Amino acid sequence: MQLKKLEWQRLYPVKKLLFLGAWLFCVFIFVAAIILLVRDGNRENLWLGILCGIAAFVMSCPMIKYIRISYHCMPYFNRIFTKCELEELVKNEKFYPIENTMDKKVLGLLKSGTHWLYAGDRLIAKDLAIFGWAEGSSSLNGRAVTPVFFIYMTGEVIKIDLGFKIHIKEIENYNQYLWEKFQIIPRIIVGEQREHIINAFARQFQELKENLGLNEKELVQTILQNPEKYRNMYMERLPDHIKKWCETNQTWSWFSSK
């Protein structure tokens, strides 16, 4: 899997250069205004220089954070793993179109590999995801796009806008695929308890770090090495109605009837 190719598909290197260029331009205007003031007593451009200086200051932290991200195509993982470690995680990964859709647009946007899911040029760790779904959306300006959500065992919520609006039937097909193939639970089971589940997962992850004496990256690596063990542990944190549904292994027709 070539992560650099994915980065260029989303033009992240270009965006980094544009972000850095905008910041440097603001710094240049600020410094130039100060020099003109000190050397020539020129106050005409002082306010412009002050505004650019404020803009440069405000942009500094977001700019540094954005530029330092190694691979934007691996959300969450790019915060805790190095560039080389990310490349190693997907070194032998190959992606194939999902099996239960015939829409060519969907075939290109949503794919599956051995340990990772491909969604809109971003990669999601199957072994870390407990919940995942695509959902319909609407927009007053007619530019609605379909978002995909995943909830990791860490309590992290990954949201990906696919850039296109997918038909409701294809959304149902994708959610069905996630559940039947990987036991990734869809939103219809989550209901209104999403925040409760996210907080419970975050607490569970923090407890595991403390009990095992591991930092965030080390614990994620440990989970990826034995995902079933930790999946079962997290399932015990779920509300009773979700556990009951998963234990009885209802078919997808249960969803369609709701």
pLDDT tens digits, residue range 65-90? 888 888 889 999 999 999 999 999 99
Query: Are 97 and 59 contained in the same domain?
Result: no
Whether residue 189 contacts residue 245, with contact meaning beta carbons closer than 8 Å, is answered with: yes
Would residue 78 count as lying in a domain? no
Expressed as residue numbers, the domain containing 169 is 86-256
Name beta bridge partners: 116: 125
pLDDT at 197: 86
When the pLDDT of each residue in the chain is averaged and rounded to a whole number, the result is: 83
Query: Are 207 and 106 contained in the same domain?
Result: yes
Q: What is the DSSP letter of 144?
A: -
| Tens-digit pLDDT profile for residues 158-202 | 998 887 787 888 888 888 888 888 888 887 666 677 888 889 899
Whether residue 34 contacts residue 42, with contact meaning beta carbons closer than 8 Å, is answered with: no
pLDDT at 139: 55
Query: Are 90 and 177 contained in the same domain?
Result: yes
Nearest to 235 by CA among 151, 174, 176, 158: 151
CA distances from 117 to 41, 91, 138, 175, 190 (A): 60, 14, 25, 13, 21
Query: Are 59 and 90 contained in the same domain?
Result: no
Would residue 80 count as lying in a domain? no
DSSP structure string for 188-248? HHHTT-HHHHHHHHHHHHHHHHHHHT--HHHHHHHHHHSHHHHHHHHHTTS-HHHHHHHHH
Query: Are 125 and 243 contained in the same domain?
Result: yes
In which band, very low, low, confident or very high, does the pLDDT at 104 lie, cut at 50, 70 and 90? low
pTM of the model: 0.80
Query: Are 183 and 236 contained in the same domain?
Result: yes
User: Which single residue is written with the structure tokens 């369609």?
Assistant: 256
**Domain count of the fold of the chain:** 2
Last residue of a domain, one of 68, 100, 122: 68
Helix (H/G/I), strand (E/B), else coil: 18:
helix
Would residue 77 count as lying in a domain? no
Query: Are 55 and 147 contained in the same domain?
Result: no
Query: Are 99 and 181 contained in the same domain?
Result: yes
Last residue of a domain, one of 16, 36, 68: 68
Query: Are 173 and 205 contained in the same domain?
Result: yes
Would residue 74 count as lying in a domain? no
Instruction: Estimate to the nearest angstrom the gap between the alpha carbon of 182 and the chain centroid.
Output: 18
Rounded Cα distance between 200 and 148, Å, is 21
Query: Are 42 and 91 contained in the same domain?
Result: no
Would residue 73 count as lying in a domain? no
Query: Are 8 and 112 contained in the same domain?
Result: no
Nearest to 68 by CA among 20, 115, 26: 20
Token pair, residue 104, equals 């060519």
Query: Are 243 and 130 contained in the same domain?
Result: yes
